[in-house]
Amino acid sequence: MCGIAGFYNANRDYLKDRTRYENVLEQMSAVQRHRGPDDSGIWLFEHGGLSHARLSIIDLANGSQPMKKTEAGKTFVIIYNGEIYNTEELRNDLIKKGHTFSTTCDTEVILTGYMEYGPDFVKQLNGIFAFAIQDPYRDGVCLFRDRLGVKPLFYTIQEDEIIFGSELKAILAYPGIRPVLDRDGLNQVFSIGPARTSGCGVLKGMKELLPGHLLFCSRDGFHLKSYWKLESHPHEDSYEETIEKTSFLVRDSIRRQMVSDVPICTFLSGGLDSSLVSAVCAKELKKKGKRLTTFSFDFVNNDKYFKSSSFQPAQDRPFVDQMVKFLDSDHHYLECDNVTQADRLYDSVIAHDLPAMGDIDSSLLHFCSLVKPHNKVTLTGECADEIFGGYPWFHKEECFKAHTFPWTMDLNARKAILRDDFLNHLQMDEYVKETYEKSIAETPTLAEDSPTEARRREISYLNLRWFMQTLLNRMDRTSMYSGLEARVPFADHRIIEYVWNVPWDMKTRDGVVKNLLRQSGKGLLPDEVLFRRKSPYPKTYDTNYEALLIKRVREMAAGSAPVLQFLDRKKLEQFLTSPSDYGKPWYGQLMAGPQMLAYILQINHWMEVYHISVE
């Protein structure tokens, strides 16, 4: 993967001040160098500029960007972040149409395809991507983002000028851009966070290109267009046919995403999803006489402190051991201690340019940094729960009936330490209700659905639009912070389009959660793993970690920390001295009392380092 950034204004000639704007492009690339440490490049033209930081995965020698290609005296230029998994098919089609290629990388295929078909070529791509193309015929720049939003692309429009980048820090590197939080942004942080509304960049004026959309910038203005959306259709396949098609799609996606000119690895938790990905990869590599490298993550002394709960019923390690033996993989057990996990909270903020998922985020960032010295590309089991209905809120009656986001059903924990006047300013309940209802209204409906099945669609849509996006953001930022490319085979749009329309009874046949995925994976895994009850990403249960966070929060509260303007000191002290309920998360499945403290520390660090002003 890579980092891209740039700017465009049809009414300005940047070449008149070439040195200044080339330096701006260099700086926009430099602040994203972690995303692409192998190479960098810039391209300044009359009405704009493009910059690129490259992580070399395909065609290591010839894939430098910005990449240029000329046709009939007109030069097209692309900057691209991502990976296309049907590159060979697309290249062969373009060769038949008379095009030639000087590289083997997917970047040239995208650029050539655009030259042949125009912006609609994006519909032919199977992959994860964000890219920008300078189009000389249309005299503009077109921005694209993949269907599910796996790869990020932020932008802001200041009068006639658009500034964009893979990460917010690239935009903030542009002269005159200042980070400001208004009421909407504050609600995103305190009421919705660590999730955020699709298309929202949290900071005032910042947006993120919507998944499945393109944005064309020209003299005619800025035109946003959807090129893909989820659609509801009657499911006509039998149960047996559904299993067969799901099995094909999952295995085909994993195989396609193994494409790389450098060795790949997988994250292996011992759960169903990562084990399926690892099993397919191991099988394919074995055909070539190669052995799969796998990594698992845990915390120092977690075997001593672990507490079983309805969300996390069992430890992963015994299942990891079983899978390592089953796969004969070259396995690495990685651990994180309390101080490292707490210290990495601040790195996590820099990775996101926003407060994130507390130590659920910081620990993954640390683990990714340990993987990078071994491998540049990894495949993960992310997204299967959102697609196949693995989370508890798909099944619990109270979640089914709740008129709110099922992973944040009670806002009281969020309110517990905030000032009364600040709560009155936020109006959290109304904000969350309005945001929730807007999302529900977007759900693709089907007239034939019963009320129960229609509600299943709503919950599924919320998961795809919100919870999955949060975890995709987490995976992208935590991995790219160390220049590690993390791929997500379950987020293949073909899988999502197909499984979306599969009736709930088929997804959970015989009352077994994610049974469709389990049945489609038969023959790949031992039954003990194939039918293992879900256990989410690990977290520490060491009370010494919570004590460390409490110490840091108290140190923060003793000074003039910017987050204190939102906090009630008496409420905060009461929170710090109250016993934590690890089994009652305030967000998702894992973010309980200690993660609230971690989140507050992250908000404060964000405001300090980025010099956030509040209006």
Q: Which residues are catalytic?
A: 2
Residues 6+ apart with CB under 8 A from 303: 315, 317
pLDDT at 583: 65
pLDDT tens track for 134-157: 999 999 999 999 999 999 999 999
d(CA 480, CA 3) in angstroms, rounded, equals 9
d(CA 329, CA 342) in angstroms, rounded, equals 31
In the beta sheet, which residues pair with residue 267? Answer: 295
d(CA 208, CA 425) in angstroms, rounded, equals 26
Long-range contact set of residues 520-523: C-beta below 8 Å, sequence gap at least 24: 520/243, 520/244, 520/246, 520/247, 520/250, 521/247, 521/250, 521/272, 521/276, 521/279
pLDDT at 317: 86
pLDDT lower than 50: segments of the chain: none
CA torsion sign for 488, 492, 498, 501 is positive
Q: Are 582 and 592 in contact (CB under 8 A)?
A: yes
pLDDT at 310: 56
pLDDT at 127: 97
Q: What H or E segment, with its residue span, contains residue 80? A: strand 74-84
Q: Mind giving me the DSSP string for 215-248? A: EEEETTEEEEEE----------S-HHHHHHHHHH
Q: Mind giving me the DSSP string for 254-297? A: HHHTT--SS-EEEE--SSHHHHHHHHHHHHHHHHTT---EEEEE
- Nearest of 497, 449, 389 to residue 234 by alpha carbon: 449
Residues 6+ apart with CB under 8 A from 110: 78, 80, 84, 121, 125, 129, 131
pLDDT at 58: 66
pLDDT at 9: 98
- Nearest of 54, 29, 59 to residue 44 by alpha carbon: 29
d(CA 596, CA 129) in angstroms, rounded, equals 33
d(CA 350, CA 144) in angstroms, rounded, equals 25
pLDDT tens track for 537-555: 777 888 899 999 999 999 9
Q: Are 488 and 387 in contact (CB under 8 A)?
A: no
- pTM reported for the whole predicted model: 0.95
* Helix pair angle (428-441, 451-462), 10° resolution: 110
Helix (H, G, I), strand (E, B) or coil at 140: strand
Q: The tokens of 73 are what?
A: 């005296």
Q: Are 176 and 159 in contact (CB under 8 A)?
A: no
pLDDT at 38: 87
Spell out where 98-198 has E strands.
127-135, 140-145, 154-158, 161-165, 180-181
Q: Are 536 and 589 in contact (CB under 8 A)?
A: yes
- Nearest of 201, 16, 19, 164 to residue 81 by alpha carbon: 164
Q: Are 102 and 67 in contact (CB under 8 A)?
A: no
Q: The tokens of 605 are what?
A: 């660090």
